[in-house]
Amino acid sequence: MNQILIQNVLLKGQRTDVLIEGNCFKTIRPGIAADDAAVIDGTQFAVIPPFYNTHTHAAMTLLRGYADDLKLFDWLNLHIWPAEAKLAPEDIYWGSKLAILEMIKTGTVFFSDMYFMQHETIRAAEEMGVRAAVGLITLESVPDLAKMLESVNDLIWESRRSFSGRISLTLAPHAIYTVSTATLEKIAERSRNDQMMIHTHLAETQFEVAECRQKHGCSPVEYLARVGLLTDRAVLAHAIHLSDRDIELVAQAGASVNHNPCSNMKLASGVFPFEKMLKAKINITLGTDGCASNNNLSMLEEMKFAALLAKSADADPESGHMHDVFNTATVNGARAFGIDAGVIEAGKLADCVLVDLDNSLMVGDYHLTSNLVYSADSSCIDTVICDGKILMRHRQVPGEKEIIAAARKCCDKFRK
C-alpha cells in the first residue's frame, strides 16, 4: 500500500510526523519509521486541513471578467446566459480543469458544482484527483436547456457506478423561481428515497423573497420546507435574506448554509447573517460561487472577506472570529457533504495542505490560524494532498501549462 511520511511538520502548534497509508491518515506522532514511504521533510511547513468549496460553477472560469459591475438579473439574462449558450462540451472540460487547477493552487480539494454538461466536469475532476459533488441540475425556466439537462442527468445517473469514490452526485434544483412546485416535490421525494444531497440557491436577493411571498404567501425557507426540501441533506447556497423564524427552521431541519461573501458583495445581494446562524448552531460552510461573479476560486480570500463582512455588518470586531471562519472553509464543508475529512486525525481521509512557514506572509508567526484567515494568499500553499495522493508539490501541478493554454483558446469565441 502506498505510504507518504511527512516528517517534523507543525500540527496544532507541535512538531510531529504524519503517516499516510492508502487514502487515510494512519499514524500521527513524532519519530515514525516507515521504510517504504515517500518522505516529505516538513520542517519548513505546517500541515492543515484543506478547503472544501461548497458552492461554485467551475467551468465559469471561462467567463472570468466577461460581465462585471451589473445587477444580478441583468448580469444573468443579458450577459451570462447568452454566453453560456455558446459553450460546448470541450469548453466545460477545459473550463473545469482550469477551475480545479486554481483550486488546487489555493489549497482546495473539494467543490460542490452546479453547472451543465456535468459529465465533462466529472471527467476533469477524476483526472486531476480532487473530490467533487456534482449537481444533477433542474432548471425549467428555459425549456430547451431544461430538456438538455434532463438528458444529461439521466446519462450521468446511469454511469454513476463507474465514478471513483471521490465523486458524488447531488440533486440540484437551480432555485425556487426557476423550478415548479410539482418538480421540487418530486426532487424532495427522490432525495428521501435515494438519500441524496440537495444543493440549491436560496434567498439570494430581496426580489426573490418578495416574489416568493407574493406567489406562495411565505418566505423562501418556509416554501422549501413546504415542498419537502428543507432537510439535513440540504445545502442552501447564499441564504442571505432570512428572518429569525427562517433561521430557526433551518436549524431545526439540520440543513447547512453556504456563505459566498465575495459574490454577495460584488452583486450587492445583501449581507449574510453570520453570527445569527452561528448562534443557532447551523452548519455554515464557505464557497466562492463562480468566477463570473467573484472572480476567483480562492478560499483563502473568501475566509478573509467572510470575517471582515461579519465584523462590518455587526459593527463588532468580535464577530466572524477567525476560528469559526476557518471551520466554515474546512471541517464544516466536509461535514455538510458527508466526507470523513476536514481534520488531521488518524483514521480520517488523507486530505491536507502544507503551508510554507517561510513565506513572508506567514511572518510574524504568533498565530497560524490568524495568518491563514487574514494574511495568506496562494503563494503560501506549497503542497496539496487529496485522498492520499499528492496533487501539488512545491506549487507545481502536472499539466498546468497545457490547461491554461487550452482554456485560453476556449475563450476565443467570447472575444470574437
Quickly list DSSP for 169-189: EEEEE--TTTS-HHHHHHHHH
Q: Stretch 288-315: mean pLDDT, rounded?
A: 97
Tens digit of each residue's pLDDT (9 = 90 or more) over 287-298: 999 999 999 999
User: What φ, ψ does residue 95 adopt, rounded to 5°?
Assistant: -65, -40
Quickly list DSSP for 170-239: EEEE--TTTS-HHHHHHHHHHHHHHT-EEEEEES-SHHHHHHHHHHHSS-HHHHHHHTT--STTEEEEE-
For residue 76, what pLDDT band results from cuts at 50, 70 and 90? confident
Closest CA to 93 of 68, 67, 72, 122: 122
Tens digit of each residue's pLDDT (9 = 90 or more) over 122-163: 999 999 999 999 999 999 988 888 888 999 999 999 999 999
Query: What span, in angstroms and rounded, lies between the C-alpha atoms of 160 and 384?
Result: 26
Do residues 187 and 229 make contact, with C-beta atoms less than 8 angstroms apart? yes
Tens digit of each residue's pLDDT (9 = 90 or more) over 377-406: 999 999 999 999 999 999 999 999 999 999
Instruction: Compute the CA torsion angle 114, 116, 120, 122 (nearest 10 deg).
Output: 30
For residue 1, what pLDDT band results from cuts at 50, 70 and 90? confident
> Percent of the chain having pLDDT more than 90?
94
For residue 75, what pLDDT band results from cuts at 50, 70 and 90? confident
For residue 43, what pLDDT band results from cuts at 50, 70 and 90? very high
Distances (CA, A) of 111 to 100, 134, 331, 338, 358: 9, 8, 13, 13, 29
Q: Which CATH superfamily is domain 51-336 in?
A: Metal-dependent hydrolases (3.20.20.140)
User: What residue type is 227 in one-letter code?
Assistant: V
Sorted by where each begins, the domain ranges of the chain are 3-49+341-398, 51-336
Tens digit of each residue's pLDDT (9 = 90 or more) over 261-289: 999 999 999 999 999 999 999 999 999 99
Identify the residue whose cell numbers are 471541517: 331
Across the chain, mean pLDDT equals: 97
Is-same-fold flag (3-49+341-398; 51-336)? no
The C-alpha R_g of the chain, in whole angstroms, comes to: 21
Do residues 236 and 255 make contact, with C-beta atoms less than 8 angstroms apart? yes
- CATH of span 3-49+341-398: 2.30.40.10
Query: What span, in angstroms and rounded, lies between the C-alpha atoms of 136 and 155?
Result: 10
pLDDT at 72: 80
pLDDT at 406: 98
Element of type H or E holding 24:
strand 24-29
pLDDT at 353: 98
Identify the residue whose cell numbers are 472577506: 305
Q: Stretch 342-349: mean pLDDT, rounded?
A: 98
C-alpha cell at 48: 492543515
Distances (CA, A) of 76 to 47, 68, 72, 73, 216: 40, 11, 6, 5, 24
pLDDT at 124: 98
